Amino acid sequence: MTRAKSPTSDLARLRSLYDQITEEGLCTRPGVDPDHWFPDAEPAGNATTQRRFYEQAATARCAGCKALAACQVTAEVEERADLMLHDCAPHGIRGGLAPWARFERLLASNIAVETDKEEAA
C-alpha cells in the first residue's frame, strides 16, 4: 500500500505554513494573551469535567481562525518530533485541539506508520 506524500515533506512548505500562522492566526494577533492558548497547568487525566471545559475553550478560542489547518499540521510535525526525540508530551491549545486530543492523534498516526512499515517489510 502506498500512502500519499506527507504534506509537510518539504521544509519550504512548512515555513509557508508558519508564515500563514503568524499572519492570520488568532493567537498571533497583537495584544492577545498567550496564557489563553498556553495556560500554566492543564487538567489532569481524571478531571473529566475540567477536561471537557478545556476542550470547549480550545474550540472557542480557535473558532474561525484562518490558519487552523496550518496550525494543526505544524503542531503535529513539531510534537511528533518532540515526542519521539525528547519524550515531551504536547501541551497548550493548538489548532483548536486540547493537548490530549493531539496526543491521541499522534499515537494513532504513529501506529499507522508502524503498521505501514510492517506491511512493507
3-state secondary structure of 73: helix
Distance from C-alpha of 110 to C-alpha of 92, rounded to nearest angstrom: 21
Size of the site for another protein (CB under 8 A): 25
| 94: contact with another protein by CB under 8 A | yes
Q: What track of x and - describes contact with another protein for positions 16 through 55 (by CB under 8 A)?
A: x-xx-xxx-x-xx-----x--xx-x---------------
Distance from C-alpha of 121 to C-alpha of 90, rounded to nearest angstrom: 31
Torsion over CA: 66, 108, 38, 57 (sign): positive
| 74: contact with another protein by CB under 8 A | yes
Looking at 47, 60, 84, 88, which residue binds another protein (CB under 8 A)?
88
What grid cell was written down for 18? 508558519
Distance from C-alpha of 43 to C-alpha of 39, rounded to nearest angstrom: 10
Which residues form the interface with another protein (CB under 8 A)?
12, 15-16, 18-19, 21-23, 25, 27-28, 34, 37-38, 40, 66, 74, 78, 82, 85-86, 88, 91-92, 94
